[in-house]
């Protein structure tokens, strides 16, 4: 069969990456128009470093952005310093980084052009929601002291999810965590966050919700200033903790949430108490109850001694009988009151003891689980960290076993 495909002419030498980047650099940096060009846009973020001021200039409607830098030697020459939310007219030249294959605008002059569109929209939305009372401190709800289920809304790929899980396990073992995944960056993030919050409410088991993501650029936090997300937080039937990893600015989600923690770890710490603190409080209550019982029993004994002394002073049989009846009545009343208080205290103590028993690691062992320790006493958590021939100690619910590894099967979990 005859082939009609055109023949491909391969050059003797192909361009290297450095050669291609150098060619692009020469095209851009030697272009007369790009050596001194005026650009208008809104500053979305600005950071001062030792070498100069680095910021991002963007067009919010077109969703285009360019990285810019003002070296320290030019800062004093600028008419207007770049600041977040400002609309500027920038004059500069294009520079290409061969190592990274990126280009940026070296700023030589900056002129004010009014308030940025994104900043104006943010300010208008904030004032409107504030007028509705969505940020009012009076509508903030207290967090539950002992939540049984905590819901978490964040991205499953985010480091924030891992930080929250570790913090909750460390502070409150045995807590049930309901994970409702959502996108926390990009154009689809607001609708995804709203759907995740609504899933938690439909489930109905959670008593507090953590809305979280890690740190990032100001542009990455845009979804937390979306009106749909703000109203979903305000209308949520359970308290919401905002654990968004940033410290520079407050988002509208931070202002609306019942508690603002700024970091995922801090949000998890706000959601649950520390188990050690609960145990210490329980011990304090036991001691206080014991002291109270001793006080009332001592007072009752002193009262009985006083009444006996008064009885001994009476000579008439009638008076003696009356006082005896009164004493018997008061004694019976005191015994009943003491028994009731003792029974209530014992029931409360048994309830607290049951809670502590459910959290005891030995109770887990009695249900058929085991703890495997290495020779140095460290707990073996993964088969990949063990070797054949290694001696191990297995602790069961009753007794211990010493074993030796003969073979390791599937040391690495399947994806």
Element housing 285 (H / E): helix 275-313
With respect to residue 222, please indicate whether it lies within any of the assigned structural domains: yes
**Same domain (yes/no): 115, 184:** no
**Same domain (yes/no): 26, 101:** yes
With respect to residue 156, please indicate whether it lies within any of the assigned structural domains: yes
**Same domain (yes/no): 174, 253:** yes
Over residues 258-291, the pLDDT tens digits come to 999 888 999 999 899 887 777 777 778 888 888 8
Secondary structure (DSSP) of 136-190 = -GGGPPPPPSS-SEEEEEE-TTSHHHHHHHHHHHHHSTT-EEEEEE---SSTTHH
With respect to residue 65, please indicate whether it lies within any of the assigned structural domains: yes
**Same domain (yes/no): 253, 195:** yes
Q: Which two tokens stand for residue 407?
A: 């073979």
**Same domain (yes/no): 208, 308:** no
With respect to residue 334, please indicate whether it lies within any of the assigned structural domains: yes
Domain residues for the domain of 385 are 365-404
With respect to residue 295, please indicate whether it lies within any of the assigned structural domains: yes
Over residues 95-130, the pLDDT tens digits come to 998 888 889 999 998 888 765 666 777 888 889 998
- What's the domain count of the chain? 4
Residue where a domain terminates, one of 258, 273, 288: 273
With respect to residue 186, please indicate whether it lies within any of the assigned structural domains: yes
Over residues 345-368, the pLDDT tens digits come to 888 888 888 887 777 777 776 777
Give the CATH number, domain containing residue 257.
3.40.50.2300
**Same domain (yes/no): 287, 310:** yes
Q: Is the pLDDT of residue 146 over 50?
A: yes
Q: What is the pLDDT of residue 241?
A: 94
Residue where a domain terminates, one of 229, 249, 273: 273
Q: Mean pLDDT over all residues of the chain? A: 84
**Same domain (yes/no): 244, 145:** yes
**Same domain (yes/no): 304, 223:** no
């Amino acid at each position: 069969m005859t082939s009609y495909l055109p023949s491909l002419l391969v050059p003797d030498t192909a361009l290297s990456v450095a050669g291609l980047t150098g060619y692009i650099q020469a095209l851009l940096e030697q272009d007369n128009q790009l050596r001194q060009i005026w650009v208008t846009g809104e500053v979305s973020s600005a950071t001062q470093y030792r070498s100069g001021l680095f910021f991002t200039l963007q067009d919010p409607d077109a969703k285009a952005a360019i990285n810019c830098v003002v070296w320290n030697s030019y800062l004093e020459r600028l008419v207007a310093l770049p600041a977040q939310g400002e609309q500027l007219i920038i004059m500069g030249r294009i520079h290409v980084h061969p190592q990274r294959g990126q280009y940026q605008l070296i700023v030589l002059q900056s002129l004010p052009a009014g308030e940025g569109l994104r900043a104006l929209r943010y300010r208008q939305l904030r004032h409107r929601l504030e007028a509705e009372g969505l940020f009012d401190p009076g509508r903030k709800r207290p967090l539950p002291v002992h939540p049984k289920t905590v819901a978490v809304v964040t991205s499953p790929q985010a480091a924030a999810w891992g930080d929250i899980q570790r913090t909750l396990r460390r502070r409150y073992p045995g807590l049930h965590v309901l994970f409702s995944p959502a996108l926390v960056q990009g154009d689809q993030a607001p609708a995804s966050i709203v759907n995740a919050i609504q899933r938690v409410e439909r489930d109905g088991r959670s008593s507090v919700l953590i809305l979280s993501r890690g740190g990032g650029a100001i542009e990455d936090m845009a979804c937390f200033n979306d009106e749909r997300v703000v109203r979903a937080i305000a209308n949520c039937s359970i308290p919401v903790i905002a654990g968004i990893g940033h410290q520079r600015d407050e988002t509208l989600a931070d202002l609306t949430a019942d508690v603002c923690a700024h970091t995922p770890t801090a949000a998890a710490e706000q959601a649950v108490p520390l188990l050690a603190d609960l145990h210490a409080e329980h011990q304090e209550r036991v001691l206080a109850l014991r002291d109270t019982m001793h006080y009332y029993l001592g007072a009752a004994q002193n009262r009985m001694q006083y009444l006996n002394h008064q009885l001994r002073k009476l000579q008439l049989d009638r008076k003696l009988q009356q006082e005896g009846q009164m004493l018997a009545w008061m004694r019976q009343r005191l015994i009943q009151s003491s028994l009731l208080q003792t029974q209530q205290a014992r029931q409360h103590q048994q309830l607290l003891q049951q809670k502590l028993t459910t959290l005891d690691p030995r109770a887990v062992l009695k249900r058929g689980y085991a703890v495997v320790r290495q020779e140095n006493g460290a707990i073996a958590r993964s088969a990949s960290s063990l070797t054949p021939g290694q001696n191990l100690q297995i602790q069961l619910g009753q007794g211990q076993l010493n074993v030796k590894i003969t073979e390791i099967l599937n040391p690495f979990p399947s994806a």
